[in-house]
Structure 1
Amino acid sequence: MSLPDLSDFDAVVYDLDGTLVNLRVDWNDAAHDAALVLQDAGVDATSMDLWDMLDVADEAGVRDELERELASHERQGAWVSDLLPLADYLPDDGVPSGVCSLNAEDACRVALDVHDLSHHVDAVVGRDTVETRKPDPEPLLTTLDRIDADPDDAVFVGDSARDEVTAERAGVAFRYVGDGPSGV
């Protein structure tokens, strides 16, 4: 895997899972438990993925409960997460840094703490920090605002096509952590 050159930027925002760490989450178990939350609310989530379940949870009035369930799985996965090679460069990047993730903010903070990276990250924005989630630009722009960085001078580093679309919509440069997208 090749690492991106970030030297031309005044601020760097990283995706978390698949970029700095690998959260060990059993997503099938998480989806099963999320479906149970929806089932209790009278919603059949049999054919839904997690993103659909989150959208439906808003409509069913159980978003907070579903978020708690997913965040629990993510926090457990954060405690046993694996550090990825790009994380080694975080302490030495010399610029304001943030994390913008589809994972719950609390799980992001656990993973950063576990790997002693928290003091190198100036802002963390998770799926539950703002009203929208990637690929909407709001989470990335909020992260940049919190590190007092101009989108024109920053780069977003991620591992998925969704991350790339997020950067494009926010008007921010983008670099893949590896050789290309791992999925949308």
Structure 2
Amino acid sequence: MNDSYDAIVYDLDGTLVRLAVDWEETAKRIKPIIRTHGGNANADDALDLLPVAEEIGAADAIEPHLAAAECAGARQSERLPIMDELVEAAAPVGICSLNCEKACRIALAAHDISKDIGAIIGRDSVSERKPHPEPLLAAVEKLGVRPERTLFVGDSDSDQETARRAGTAFRGV
């Protein structure tokens, strides 16, 4: 199946690795920041608070907390079976993640992935985030291929929607 694509782009968390992040604990550190900026901080998952923070102009204030949790979680992440597929892929590969770029790089290093990853696009690499197509299209462009010749592998409805909006094929895991 993968031989019919010029490149494969993978999501990180839940696809290649499982980050060891306590999102509820991270949310507890972020909620006071959201409230200080006048936002509704009812979510118990820190990543669910990101859209709220963006809406009220507090994304930059919570980013260090999210990134720190992701980077720490990347060091202790669990390698998932799809990582073997990435390592063995003959086509160029990239990563497009809702996590910060540094966490993506730390997770790869933590699992001794030495394969050349042609594009690593995290939440902080471009101005938009998934399911907007910009992150995936940035990875595709960096790999030097066309979207319609690219497979995006991910684990969520948001990943599938990102692929649809970017014009790539999608495979869920």
What TM-score does the superposition give when structure 2 sets the normalisation length? Answer: 0.91
2:89 maps to 93
Length, aligned pairs only: 173
Shift of 1:41: 3.2
1:113 aligns with 2:109: yes
Q: Is the 8 A contact 2:23 2:47 kept in 1?
A: no
2:68 maps to 72
Q: What percent of counterpart residues are identical?
A: 47
1:180 maps to none
Name the CA distance, whole Å, in 2 between partners of 1:92 and 1:47: 39
Name the CA distance, whole Å, in 2 between partners of 1:73 and 1:118: 24
Name the CA distance, whole Å, in 2 between partners of 1:59 and 1:175: 31
Aligned residue type for 2:20: R
Q: Is the 8 A contact 1:156 1:173 kept in 2?
A: yes
Name the CA distance, whole Å, in 2 between partners of 1:29 and 1:132: 25
Q: Is the 8 A contact 1:25 1:74 kept in 2?
A: yes
2:77 maps to 81
Q: Which shows bigger deviation, 58-67 or 39-48?
A: 39-48
Shift of 1:145: 0.7
Change over 3 Å in CA distance of 1:47–1:10 after alignment to 2 = closer
Aligned residue type for 1:121: I
Change over 3 Å in CA distance of 1:76–1:101 after alignment to 2 = same
Name the CA distance, whole Å, in 1 between partners of 2:44 and 2:88: 41
Q: Is the 8 A contact 1:156 1:175 kept in 2?
A: yes
Which stretches in structure 1 are left out of the alignment for 5+ residues?
178-184
- Alignment of structure 1 residues 1-184 onto 2, 5 Å: 5-47=1-43, 50-51=46-47, 53-117=49-113, 119-177=115-173
What TM-score does the superposition give when structure 1 sets the normalisation length? Answer: 0.86
SS of structure 2 residue aligned to 1:157: strand
Q: Which shows bigger deviation, 129-138 or 9-18?
A: 129-138
Name the CA distance, whole Å, in 1 between partners of 2:48 and 2:136: 21
Name the CA distance, whole Å, in 2 between partners of 1:75 and 1:13: 21
Aligned residue type for 1:105: E
Which stretches in structure 2 are left out of the alignment for 5+ residues?
none
C-alpha RMSD of matched pairs (Å): 1.8
